[in-house]
Amino acid sequence: MANPQPPTITATSGGAGDEHHSWFAALDKDIRRFESDSKVPEGLCWLISAPEESIAPWYNELMKAWKKAPPNTLEDATVLVFDALHEVHPNVIDITHLEGCLRFYGLPQYYPLVKNRLRERVENATFFPFRLNTLPVIKNRVKDAGNFTVSVAVKDLRLLPSDTQSMICERREALRKGDGSRASELLKQINSSRDYEIVKSTWNEELVTKKYQIRLRGIAPPEIAQDYGPEARDELRKMIGGKCLTISVFYIDVHRRCVADAYCENTFVQVCSSVGCVLTYKCITANL
């Protein structure tokens, strides 16, 4: 299959009657096409790296739900997509498929806009983990012994939001023209976003990266404001600071954190983090 560029779709606040606006018109068109010839969008297959035969059941469920009650809002459309995937995969949901489908249509991710309506479904579902290979972790982005931020290189800029793409292109043009002031201003705007930033690699090349907030799964270390919180955080900083991690994400919580397992140099971080917290606690209490 060729690699078509996914359409650039900008979500609007329009309702179901606003058929000329992006998300409703695009979703309606694809569902009608599926009903007539059982074809699914090639762009979506490419975006989530899934074959047509695995996506077709989603559109069958979307078509049935759409006929019963077309969505009136972005929130309704997001819930409709989630329910369609949940019908096809009642026990296991690949989160990359869910997020890819939502992004393809310019719909908001299921957090935090629809967290109340989806909380029960999300908590009762088992998510198939997807893997992130990070750039070296910046020490001061380790907030406490269970939460930190990582960066992952973006391999295809077409997957970025349209406004971020525009700023990157404008910045490159400013650099080409020697307009350092404008380029610096755009760099600041890009890097101030929650999700994306441009960084320098070890070989002095600029990389566009996506930031992920990580919450280590299965442990409950002290928070930074609690007793021994700073010491526990410092243990984790020593362990992962400046190193690349392999992250297995199981699901996204309502705070937009990736609840995940982390591996550093083939070592399971949660085990070492828990041991480090216990040892720190013992050393401190032994000196009291």
- The catalytic residue positions are 215, 223, 257
Q: Which pair of tokens denotes residue 109? A: 């991710």
Q: What is the largest CA-CA distance in the chain?
A: 75
Residue 252: helix, strand or coil by DSSP? strand
d(CA 244, CA 271): 17
What letter represents residue 82's amino acid?
Answer: F
d(CA 121, CA 218): 20
> What does the DSSP assignment read for 154-170?
-S-GGGS-HHHHHHHHH
* Other beta carbons within 10 Å of 256: 15
Q: Is 287 exposed, middle or buried (0-12, 13-18, 19+ CB in 10 A)?
A: exposed
Which residues have a Cβ under 8 Å from the Cβ of 136 and sit 6 or more positions away?
A: 242, 243, 244
Distances (CA, A) of 263 to 102, 168, 216, 243: 29, 32, 11, 10
Give the N- to C-terminal CA distance of the chain in Å, as an integer: 66
d(CA 260, CA 272): 15
